[in-house]
Amino acid sequence: MQISQNTVASIDYNLKDADGQVLDTSEGREPLTYLHGAGNLIPGLESALEGNEPGDTVSVTVDPSEGYGERDENLIQQVPKQAFEGVDQVESGMRFQATDEQGERRIVTVTGVEGDEVTVDANHPLAGQSLNFEVSVVDVREASQEEIEHGHAHSGDEEDH
């Protein structure tokens, strides 16, 4: 069966940045199982997988516009240290969940600390990067009606949700 709208595909993948450094991989884990056509993967990867079958391998470079977007310098902000309640020591590289003015949750990364000023970056860590995916298609099946309604794949042993 080919990967198409409303199929559930299982894939093994390697993700490398433009310098060939591995950013993410399914190696040593279960393959990634997802509902195709529901926006569960970044657009550039999802469209590259369309029409492939188990046993196929796909190599694709996804530009930021089809990946995690361009970096937005407006998402870099200075916040006072007091904003980090209950954190003993705020350090570069720490990640926090924050809520923006629209009430949307974002992961922010601390990129600098100077005195009482903390610089946080709410860009996705992979924003602005060209992403090189190597994917092997492991399995493709029809999605169940429930999966289509939920907009995601079920593994079969989940609680009701």
DSSP 8-state assignment for residue 36: T
Mask for 76-95, x = binds Zn ion (CB under 5 A) = --------------------
- Tell the smallest beta-carbon distance from residue 46 to Zn ion (Å): 19
Site residue total, Zn ion (CB under 5 A): 1
Record the tokens describing residue 131, joined without a space: 């992403």
Q: How far is the CB of 158 from Zn ion (least distance, A)?
A: 7
Tell the smallest beta-carbon distance from residue 155 to Zn ion (Å): 10
Residue 7 or residue 129: which is nearer to Zn ion going by CB?
7
Contact range with Zn ion by CB under 5 A, out of 9-17, 76-84, 120-128, 144-152 = 144-152
Q: Which is nearer to Zn ion, 37 or 44 (CB)?
A: 37
- SS3 letters for 96-160? EEEECCCCCEEEEEEEEEECCEEEEECCCCCCCCCEEEEEEEEEEEECCHHHHHHCCCCCCCCCC
Integer Cα distance of 130 and 15 in angstroms: 10
* 33 is an interface residue for Zn ion by CB under 5 A: no
DSSP 74: G
| Cβ pair 19, 13 in contact under 8 A | no
Phi-psi region of 38 (alpha: psi -120 to 50; beta: other; left: phi over 0): alpha
Task: Compare residues 115 and 156 and give the one whose CB is closer to Zn ion.
Answer: 156
**Nearer Cβ to Zn ion, position 101 or 160?**
160
* Cβ at position 153, least distance to Zn ion in Å: 8
Q: Using the rule CB under 5 A, which residue among 150, 153, 155, 160 binds Zn ion? A: 150
Q: Give whichever of 81 and 150 is closer to Zn ion, judged by the CB atom.
A: 150
1 close to 140: Cβ distance less than 8 angstroms: yes
Q: What is the binding site for Zn ion (CB under 5 A)?
A: 150
